[in-house]
Structure 1
């Protein structure tokens, strides 16, 4: 089967829908509550074999790891402990083995006449998992935590990098005892006492990679369980009333569930990405598998706990479905060494044998080509003495560079994603990511006025578009955003700055605060044109105000990250009528429409900043320093770097998902919000972690003697707070996610 004939996203969705309906018809979610149920598990597995899932993993053309993860997630949703996990591992372990024993075993497995319980034995990272020894084709030993062993016909255990032992479960010397773990009965203890064993030779078992696949499958099942419980909690929050209203209307519940949704989406994307890379044969798939396991384990447990908190006492009762999923999540996420073992793999990738950079994402042929083109342009135009002179300036002087903006303007890249009718290049969101990423890696100054340009393209008159867009495109004009006021921060509908029509002019009076880019040529200003409008946001209009207009008084202030903003007073500022953007009293649509268009890539821009800073931190950790022990060898440092790396990959996955959505139109606001919330708060955590690892010297600020990278890391932390607050505080974004994505009441 060709690459284009392999299973697609649509076929995976069909697989999920089909299995969900099938399990809903043939499996009762409360079956496992009654204790060990080997007959029921054997029966449902026989039916699932008829659906074709038993052969997944044996033939890549029929479906690979991505399809397996879909099946495991649906089993998790249904609280069904059918031995799919073991069947998958048997398929992977025996793939390519042509012995009569292996071929026969797989044939019986796929036909449903053999049900396999798989154990890693001595290869299990959990030291309590047990092991067996095989002498004279007799197996002895104790294996713990064996799934569904009571319903299986055979036990399969790796005993060397090139051999597995196969034991008939009904043979002599085999004892199987159900094990109650986390209050559930899905595991078993298997004791072998000189049990007859068949040795199956394989060319190369690749146990470490098999462990990664096994862990991804468990995380997928845990994700299915956590997602199901979460959905039940969301429905409950819509119906359960306390203090006279649905609890889903309380901000505390909305934000709790929004946090859960962010984590679940991160898990969904990173698991699927790891599976996709595996099925494509990408050399980085083990790294992404470890990142997926590291992030998923902790994220899913957090979701599981918060779900129970939302249910309160009703979810604490065993009669409810939620406790089943709580138990499954915690069992699956600690198995095979859990997150800690996955982080060992990430640390090794990043820091051993010279270390490796975070892998570059495939942005498609056009995106990859543009990334290289921009890299070469920067090497020729933003390097050596020019860049060194810029970097030597205080941060406040490095927010913008006039000459650089004009040089970039000649390339047309400021309008990379603009439609061609406005002079843009009409490039894809992936190409826009390529530009942002490469500029960030080279620490180039910011360019353009994306939100304002979007507003003009969406709502401006032809005359406005012809006047202002070319200036932005050429890098000649920067636009500030005049939104916030003393009593109107996130609540922009409360703004008081007014604009009144006087003949052929608008007269503006009021105050704006926290205005960045106050030094720009224009201000994109929100002002009230109807003070009695109901609701209040219905009386707002948007204006372009030249900053050299009489009556504007600017009072700059220094930000906590050494940048600047200004308090700006508008005192009888007169501008022409045609400086109105959009309709009178229609400014809310202009403001939110432009922001929605841009928010889809805001989170991506932030996580790319974090990824670049991470690389600088990684290099410092690997650098030898006098007689001090190498930080790269410190197990705590390695673990913390691994945690950061896994979260960066989730942030990048959210970025890529927003780009995919944007390719089909505007990214839904709730998904832009998810990416922005996750990445901005990751930026905060990165700053804290960098200081913890590097110590007090990293707290020395720019232009101080011995400051590390001219104060880069401490300034990253101070700067991170801006991203959490700007373009809508994260608290507002969480409310948006809860109401738009989850349908919770306002």
Structure 2
């Protein structure tokens, strides 16, 4: 594997993408298929070689797997079936350096110049039984290989046979016959027959071939992603222009949410593929795991995207004159190659259900965050383990969501203000260090502490006096805030809230009702109230207040939630709050409020996915020790399939978490990206709970405290709790509208 420091920069990768896209846009016609004849294919191959694309993988300075992935994505966008991936596989295999035979060296050298085109077949190592398994006898190859791309323009074929041995056959040699075939009604999928065809041989090791198969699956997933992305972009553009019932169909919520789902799926696939390629280039031990996760995710997500984009096009997408059908076919072919998601899913299951317990791979978050992760882990081992942690877990869920003594201990570290500016008393640490803290806190099952939304709001909009009074209380773990937003007639529609705040001298008098308030037991409530009932638009008359919860006139009526916690109806009857407690200017509360929610959503998806990841690891640990009818449950094919699928989906959520953290560190958190992470992670938590019940059956429904409750009842409790994450902090339906309108530019 190449030295990470030698690889191209992100700017150079952008240049590569632009160059390849420009070339393919100029040379590949919109309706072009790959079965255009030998002469045309060889001309195209020569041109691609002139761009240096047939040499990718030979020199770290010219590119590694990330560059190969970029090229594959662009081939997918253009609908080009040129077998560049075969060249990359041969380069990455190291066979170029091992080719002692002058004939082999000459063939491979010709591949780099574009004089030779060499489609590669894995034979018995392929992972798909229909790919063909030719056999080598006395340097003669006999048998078939199927679904071969670029065979029409090939000068040679490279085929793996038992050993493993890489055999190279001249396409014009006696005993070689090429039969054109179509798959998904897409041309260029030839069957090649060998009948005692003469070969030259290069021995390789089995691990090397397994690596190449994993790379090949990832490369085809990347090409499928490129095709899906192109079709999706066409569908979005179509939705903006196509009119029905007098308006663009992109204004309809059904279309907006359909395309928002596609955007989320595509982002997850893009990030997981890119991560896997990066792990390979960095020489990471777990790169195989990341590649398997990407392939499993792509297998389901990209096919769903291809269906949804066609639904958006309607009848126009049926026409073969349109691009969409070709992309549909390409996606379905590519995600199935080399066994597709099936062997990748099994590989994921092996990691978590094998004989040796294993966890989700830890990310390299950078030197500072990696070091901080160890510091947090050591601190939690000292301050939140053993008897203290065990004692905290004994009471019911509603009584262990918060621990004041722990909050004070954490406050002494300064970590509650990890990301705050130093002049506010913070440490100005990076978003990745925040992730390290979140990850370790979740794995230690430590209770939450601090008030991140309120702290961010005060730092941006608070007066100097407010900052001096309230920020130290939050930083030291002494104060926690509730959020008084929702009302009986204004849940997600906060612009319609009715709670009034009327100025009376140096105070405001507040009257109204808030519902579904979870942290009603905190020291303060961050309250949204209307100070100008006649303002236009309606949200212009909202202001934000810090309300001490011991203020006279506040009445709390609690309710038990379905997930075992509590929330409250909070009534405000002539509650007098000093005017100095207003955060921001009067009537500016909407800006203050939405800014705070955007801050929270930037990390809320990451927090949720870390909860799912921890629960997943606990579930897998439990499954390794369970038998059903005398057989280990971990060997059950259905269980393995479900665990592999969950692992891939969790990895997608973790990648979205990292993506949001990177944006935070760059100084921006686009609301549609935070929304995508929140939507995906919340629904992933729901999915995890449902799948866990499917695997474990009725006994998994036993509640905490019941005899025989699995994992102290946390499986079913997590499922009940998951609904809150989908609804709170802006329902997922609202988040999908944000994605569609702000991210995709669909009309409001």
Shorter chain as normaliser: what TM range?
A: over 0.9
How far apart are the structure 2 equivalents of 1:648 and 1:205?
A: 27
The alignment status of 1:397 with 2:402, answered yes or no, reads no
The alignment status of 1:440 with 2:477, answered yes or no, reads no
Match of 1:289 in 2: 291
Deviation, structure 1 residue 37: 3.6
How far apart are the structure 1 equivalents of 2:48 and 2:327?
A: 21
How far apart are the structure 1 equivalents of 2:656 and 2:37?
A: 40
Deviation, structure 1 residue 306: 0.5
How far apart are the structure 1 equivalents of 2:206 and 2:704?
A: 53
Match of 1:224 in 2: 226
When residues 642 and 203 of structure 1 are mapped into structure 2, their CA distance, relative to the original with a 3 A threshold, is closer
- Helix, strand or coil for the counterpart of 1:186? coil
More displaced, 617-626 or 420-429?
617-626
Report if aligned partners of 2:3, 2:60 keep a CA contact under 8 Å in 1.
no
How far apart are the structure 2 equivalents of 1:134 and 1:577?
A: 87
Report if aligned partners of 2:462, 2:584 keep a CA contact under 8 Å in 1.
yes
Deviations 1:381-432 (A, max 9, x none): 1122111111011001011011111111111111111111111111100000
Report if aligned partners of 1:73, 1:220 keep a CA contact under 8 Å in 2.
yes
Deviation, structure 1 residue 95: 4.2
654, 662, 665: which one aligns with 2:664: 662
When residues 681 and 333 of structure 1 are mapped into structure 2, their CA distance, relative to the original with a 3 A threshold, is same
The alignment status of 1:72 with 2:72, answered yes or no, reads yes
The aligned runs of 1:449-598 (5 Å cut-off) are: 449-598=451-600
Match of 1:59 in 2: 59
418, 421, 430: which one aligns with 2:420: 418
731, 735, 744: which one aligns with 1:742: 744
Deviation, structure 1 residue 708: 1.3
TM-score, length-scaled by structure 1: 0.98
Deviation, structure 1 residue 204: 5.7
Match of 1:26 in 2: 27
Deviation, structure 1 residue 109: 0.4
Two-structure CA RMSD over aligned residues (Å): 1.4
Match of 1:638 in 2: 640
- Helix, strand or coil for the counterpart of 1:283? coil
Deviation, structure 1 residue 628: 3.4
Match of 1:87 in 2: 87
How far apart are the structure 1 equivalents of 2:651 and 2:52?
A: 33
Match of 1:299 in 2: 301
Deviation, structure 1 residue 189: 0.5
Deviation, structure 1 residue 181: 0.6
How far apart are the structure 1 equivalents of 2:611 and 2:457?
A: 25
Deviation, structure 1 residue 627: 6.7
More displaced, 351-360 or 313-322?
351-360
Deviation, structure 1 residue 18: 0.9
How far apart are the structure 1 equivalents of 2:382 and 2:145?
A: 62
Match of 2:372 in 1: 370
Report if aligned partners of 1:41, 1:81 keep a CA contact under 8 Å in 2.
no
Deviation, structure 1 residue 136: 2.3
Deviation, structure 1 residue 150: 1.1
- Helix, strand or coil for the counterpart of 1:510? strand
Give structure 1 stretches of 5+ with no counterpart.
Answer: none
Report if aligned partners of 1:140, 1:195 keep a CA contact under 8 Å in 2.
yes
704, 707, 712: which one aligns with 1:705: 707
Deviation, structure 1 residue 36: 4.5
The aligned runs of 1:233-382 (5 Å cut-off) are: 233-382=235-384
Deviations 1:45-98 (A, max 9, x none): 111100000011223332111100000110110111112021112222324313
Match of 2:188 in 1: 186
- Helix, strand or coil for the counterpart of 2:320? coil
Deviation, structure 1 residue 348: 1.5
Give structure 2 stretches of 5+ with no counterpart.
Answer: none
Report if aligned partners of 1:163, 1:205 keep a CA contact under 8 Å in 2.
no
How far apart are the structure 2 equivalents of 1:260 and 1:738?
A: 10
- Helix, strand or coil for the counterpart of 2:134? strand
Match of 2:12 in 1: 11
When residues 705 and 260 of structure 1 are mapped into structure 2, their CA distance, relative to the original with a 3 A threshold, is same
When residues 144 and 2 of structure 1 are mapped into structure 2, their CA distance, relative to the original with a 3 A threshold, is closer
Deviations 1:650-682 (A, max 9, x none): 111100011111001131111111111111110
Match of 2:159 in 1: 157
The alignment status of 1:43 with 2:11, answered yes or no, reads no
How far apart are the structure 1 equivalents of 2:224 and 2:3?
A: 32
How far apart are the structure 2 equivalents of 1:37 and 1:317?
A: 24
Deviations 1:542-563 (A, max 9, x none): 0001111111110011111000
Report if aligned partners of 1:178, 1:187 keep a CA contact under 8 Å in 2.
yes
Deviation, structure 1 residue 572: 0.6
When residues 198 and 429 of structure 1 are mapped into structure 2, their CA distance, relative to the original with a 3 A threshold, is same
Deviation, structure 1 residue 624: 4.2
More displaced, 583-592 or 136-145?
136-145
Deviation, structure 1 residue 2: 6.6
Deviations 1:465-490 (A, max 9, x none): 11111101111111100000001011
121, 126, 148: which one aligns with 1:124: 126
How far apart are the structure 2 equivalents of 1:98 and 1:82?
A: 25
More displaced, 401-410 or 369-378?
369-378
